Amino acid sequence: MPNSVGKRFKPTKYIPVSTAATLLVGSTTLFFVFTCPWLTKAISPAVPLYNGIVFLFVLANFSMATFMDPGVFPRADEDEDKDDDFRAPLYKNVEIKGIQVRMKWCATCHFYRPPRCSHCSVCDNCVEEFDHHCPWVNNCIGRRNYRYFFLFLLSLSVHMMGVFSFGLLFILHHLERLSALHTTVTLVVMCVTGLFFIPVMGLTGFHMVLVARGRTTNEQVTGKFRGGVNPFTRGCCGNVKHVLCSPLAPRYISDPKKKLPITLKPPFLRPDLSNRHVSVKVSDNGIHSSILRSKSKTSLDGVDDKSIDTQPPLPPKADRYNQLKSQLTSSEGKGHDYRSEPNLDMPDYRSTPLHRTYQSSPFQLDSFSTTSRSFSLKQGVNGADQMPLGGSKPETVTSTPHKGVFSPGTLSGRNGSLSYDSLLTPSVTLSVGECAAHPGVPSMGFHSPYLPTKMCHVRGPELQRHIGPPSYSPVHVGAMYGRQSPLSRDRDPSPVRYDNLSKTIMASIQERKELEEREKLMHRHAQAYANDSGVFDTCSGAAYGLPPGPRGPGSREPTPPVCGSRDNLMGVGVVGYAPRTPVLRSSASSLSRAPRTSTTSLHTDAGGVSRTAERQYRSPVRQTHHSPTAVPRSPTYTHQKVAFISALERADSPHLGTRYDT
Amino acid sequence: MATEFHNLQELRHSASLATKVFIQRDYRDSTICKFQTKFPAELDSRIERSLFEETLKTLNCYYAEAEKIGGQSYLEGCLACATAYIIFLCMETRYEKILKKISMYIQEQNEKIYAPRGLLLTDPIERGMRVIEISIFEDSGSTSSSSSGSSPSSSTAQ
C-alpha cells in the first residue's frame, strides 16, 4: 500500500473496525443461515423478519457512525488567527447561561475551540461536541453522528439480545444433537454474542446515562462538571429530544461550491460623515481665538517676536485646516477647485471666523475697529464710484464673490456698501455650500483690492491659514506688512501660486503693482507725516518715514521710501481722527459718512489706521489724489505696534515690487 | 486601437483587501448557532450600523429556525430511520435547505449592500460556523494595465 506524504497509511487502525464489522456481519449471517430456518418452522416466520429488521438497523447506524462526518471544523484561515497566534492567551473565557466556560486555543487548527469542541489526536481534527474517538467504527463521535452511534449501540444491544435468545432456544431444542453442524454454529454465535454482550451493554447503558444528563463522554471522563452545573443540559427530556430529534447538523468540510462572483467596484460608498466636520470646526474656533488673543498687546520690541510668535499657533491651526481639508476632500464630492486657489479661500473661511485673523495681527483689533473698518471700506467703495480708474475692475471682482461668500445682507451694509460687521461675522452667513458654490471665483478676487498679492507670497503658509479673513481686512494687510519684514528673510514659497490665480486676481495684482510703483515715486518726495506722535520717533529709524511731499508738512525726517499704501494708511487713519490738512480734508469728507467714533482706543486707532491704510492703498486706485499721504498723525495714535509695522511696511515697500517679479 | 480600448477598460479603480473583521459566535444561549450583533469598530466608517445589525439579525433568525427541534425535524428523523437513512441520498434535510437560503441571502446582501461599500461577507459555513468573516476592501486607486501600450491611453483616461 502506498504511503502518502501527508498521511501515513496505518493498517493497524483498521483492525478494530474490521474485526467489529466481521464479527457483526459474520455472526448475523451464520445466525440467519443455521438458526433461523428452524425458528421459522418452529416458532414463526416473524422471527427472522424481526431479526432482519433489527440487523438492518444495526448496519445502517453502524455505517452512519463509521462514515459520517462527526462535525469536523475546518482549519482556520491565516487571516483569522493573525492576532491570536503569538500574543493570545491559551484560554478564553466565555459565559454560557451564566457559567464561565473555558475555550482553549487549538494550536493545530488555529482557533479557540468552541465550547464542547475537542481536538481528536487520532483524526487530527477539532470536532464539534466531541464525544470520543471510537476505534470500532474508526471515527470520532461528535455532534453530527452521535445520534447514529447511540442508535447503533441501542440497536446492537437489541440485536445481540435477540440473537442470543433465539440461539439459546435453538440449542435447548437440539441438545441431543450438539455435534450437528447447525447446533455447533449456533453455539459459536451464541458465545460470540455472549462475549461481546457485556461491553456493548455496558457502553449502551453508559451512553444512556450521558444522554439523559446531557453530557459527552469527554466531559464525563475528564470530570468537567463533576461538582458543578452543566450549562449545556436541557433537562432529561430535552436532552433526549436533542439527541434523537434534532435536525442533522451541516457539514463544515464540504466540497467548494461554485459561488457567483461578486465584483467590487470602487469608489465605495461611505456612511455620512458630515457631523465630524462640524465638530472639528467648533473646536478649531474655540482654541484658536484664545491663542491669538493672547498675543494682542506687545511691546514695541516684542512686536517682532510677536509677529513671529504668531506663527507657532498657526501650525496647530494648519493641522486643523489640513484635517478639515482632508475630511472635506474625502467626504465631499463637491468641487474642490477652490483648493487650488490661493489660500484665501473657502476652507479657511469656514474654519476661521474673520475675527480670528484680525486678532492675529499685532494690531489687536477688536470690535471697535469694526467701525473704522467699515469706515475705510466704505471709503474705498465710494472711492470706487468716484474713481473708476481701475477701480471698477476690482469692484466687480469684489462684488461677485461677495455673493457667493457673503450673504446678500452683507452687501447691502449700513450704507449700501460692504459692511465689515458682516464680514467679521461671516460664520453665520457663510456656508460650505456657499463657499464651494463659487470655486471658480476665488475669494482672492475679492481680496485683491485689499491684499497685495505679494502678501500671499510672503506669508506663505501663514497666509494659507489665515487668508480668507485677512484679505478682507485692511488691518490684516497692515499686519501682513508688518510681519513681512521679519519674514522677509525667510520667506517660504507661498502656496499661492500665480498660475493658480484667476484672471481677475491677476488683473488686480497687476493694478496694484502699478499703483505701488506710482506711489513710491510720489511719496518719495512727500513729507513725512507731521505728527506729534512720538511713536514714530520712537520707532526705528525707518518708522514713519513717510516721505514728505504731497502729504503735507510732515516734519518727519526723510525716511526710506514708503509704500504709498502705508502713507495712505497713515493718512487715512489720521484723517479719521484729525484731518489736518486740506488734503486730508478731502479724503476726510469722503470718509465723513464713516462715524468718527473711532475712539481713542489705541486698538481702534491702530485698526483704523491699518484699515485706512488699506483703504489708502486702494484709494490711489480710485482716487486721483493720493493726498492722504500727508495726513498728520493723530496724537492719539500712539500705538507703537502700528507705527512699527508701518515702518516695517515701508521698509518692505521696495520689496513689494520685486515680489511681484518673483 | 483595440488594445487601447482594452487597456482603458482596465484603467479603473481596483479594490485591494485591507483587513478582515471577524464576528464571533454568541454562546450565551449554549451552543445554538448565534452570532454576536455587536458592531465592530472597523466598520464604523464603512457601513451604517443599522444595515449591519439587520443583516446579523436576519442571519441569526435563519440559524435559529434551522436548529429548531420540532415536529418537522422529528418526522425527518423517523423517516430517515425507517428508510435506513437511504433517504439522505435522495432528499436534502431541512437544515440544508435553510443553509441554502442563508447562502443566497448573504450573496444578495453582498451584492446590494456590502460590495458597494467595499465589504464582503463570507458565509460562516465556510468557517465552520464559528465566525462571520467580513473582508474590508480599500480603493487602491486607478491602475493602469501593465502592458506598455497602455501608457498613452492611460494618460488620456486620467
Q: What is the pLDDT of residues A22-48, one digit of tens each?
A: 999 999 999 999 999 889 999 888 999
Contact across the interface for B125 and A262, Cβ inside 8 Å: no
Mean pLDDT lowest for which of A5-19, A143-157, A220-234, B124-138?
Answer: A5-19
Model pLDDT for residues A215-240, shown as the tens digit of each residue:
999 999 988 887 778 888 888 999 99
d(CA A648, CA A641): 10
Model pLDDT for residues B64-119, shown as the tens digit of each residue:
999 888 888 899 999 998 898 998 888 888 899 999 999 999 999 999 988 888 88
* C-alpha cell belonging to residue B126: 465556510
Q: Which residue in chain A has the smallest CA separation from B135?
A: A79
Across residues A355-384, what is the average pLDDT?
Answer: 42
Q: Could you tell me the pLDDT band of residue A84, with boundaries at 50, 70 and 90? A: low
Of B129, B101, B103, B107, the residue nearest B120 (C-alpha): B107
The DSSP annotation for A138-191 comes to TEEE-TTTHHHHHHHHHHHHHHHHHHHHHHHHHHHHTGGGTTSHHHHHHHHHHH
Across residues A306-329, what is the average pLDDT?
Answer: 45
d(CA A410, CA A426): 9
Across residues A504-527, what is the average pLDDT?
Answer: 74
**Alpha-carbon gap: B100 to the closest alpha carbon of chain A (Å):** 11
Here the contacts of A120-129 (C-beta below 8 Å, separation 24 or greater) are A122/A13, A123/A72, A125/A72, A125/A73, A126/A72, A126/A73, A127/A70, A127/A71, A127/A72, A127/A73, A128/A70, A128/A71, A128/A72, A128/A73, A128/A249, A128/A252, A128/B128, A129/A71, A129/A216, A129/B31
Phi-psi region of B123 (alpha: psi -120 to 50; beta: other; left: phi over 0): beta
Q: How many residues does chain B have?
A: 158
Q: Which residues are CB-contacts of A492 (< 8 A; sequence separation ≥ 6)?
A: A460, A461
Positive or negative torsion for Cα B5, B6, B8, B12: positive
Looking at the complex, does the CB of residue A129 fall below 8 Å from at least one CB of chain B?
yes
Looking at the complex, does the CB of residue A255 fall below 8 Å from at least one CB of chain B?
no
Q: Could you tell me the pLDDT band of residue A453, with boundaries at 50, 70 and 90? A: very low
Q: Could you tell me the pLDDT band of residue A126, with boundaries at 50, 70 and 90? A: very high
pLDDT at A503: 65
Across residues B114-136, what is the average pLDDT?
Answer: 89
**Alpha-carbon gap: A129 to the closest alpha carbon of chain B (Å):** 9
Cα→Cα distances A22→A17, A631, A634, B3, B6, Å:
8, 123, 121, 69, 66
For A60, the closest of B85, B116, B137 (CB atoms) is B85
Please identify every residue of A annotated as catalytic.
Answer: 134
Contact across the interface for B107 and A74, Cβ inside 8 Å: no
Rounded to the nearest integer, the mean pLDDT of chain A is 63
Contact across the interface for B45 and A271, Cβ inside 8 Å: yes
What is the value of ipTM here, to two decimals? Answer: 0.82
Measured between beta carbons, the chain B residues lying within 8 angstroms of A242 are 69
Residue A298 or residue A164, greater confidence: A164
Contact across the interface for A247 and B120, Cβ inside 8 Å: no
Across residues A524-548, what is the average pLDDT?
Answer: 47
d(CA B122, CA A259): 11
- Burial annotation B113-143 (CB, 10 A radius, 16+ → b, else e): bbbbbbbbbbbbbbbbbbbbbbbbbebeeee
Measured between beta carbons, the chain B residues lying within 8 angstroms of A94 are 27
β-strand partners of A118: A127
Across residues A642-652, what is the average pLDDT?
Answer: 45
Query: Residue written as cell 452545573?
Result: A229
pLDDT at A641: 47
Q: Which residue in chain B has the smallest CA separation from A267?
A: B139
* C-alpha cell belonging to residue A414: 449700513
Across residues A389-406, what is the average pLDDT?
Answer: 41
Q: CA dihedral in degrees (A551, A554, A560, A563; nearest 10)?
A: -30
The pTM for the full model equals: 0.53
Looking at the complex, does the CB of residue A237 fall below 8 Å from at least one CB of chain B?
no
Measured between beta carbons, the chain A residues lying within 8 angstroms of B9 are none
For B117, the closest of A59, A254, A269 (CB atoms) is A269
Across residues A559-577, what is the average pLDDT?
Answer: 42
Contact across the interface for A268 and B45, Cβ inside 8 Å: no
**Alpha-carbon gap: A11 to the closest alpha carbon of chain B (Å):** 29
pLDDT reading at B154 higher than 50: no
Query: Residue written as cell 493723530?
Result: A634
Measured between beta carbons, the chain B residues lying within 8 angstroms of A111 are 130
Contact across the interface for B133 and A96, Cβ inside 8 Å: no
For A268, the closest of B69, B117, B126 (CB atoms) is B117
d(CA A349, CA A472): 11
Q: What is the 3-state secondary structure (H, E, C) of A419-437?
A: CHHHHHCHHHHCCHHHHHH
Q: Could you tell me the pLDDT band of residue A456, with boundaries at 50, 70 and 90? A: very low
Across residues A193-214, what is the average pLDDT?
Answer: 93
Q: Which residue in chain A has the smallest CA separation from B76?
A: A247
Q: What is the DSSP letter of B111?
A: I
Q: Could you tell me the pLDDT band of residue A501, with boundaries at 50, 70 and 90? A: low
Cα→Cα distances A311→A246, A361, A489, A662, Å:
74, 11, 15, 24
d(CA B86, CA B94): 16
Q: Which of A116-125, A485-494, A646-655 has the highest mean pLDDT?
A: A116-125
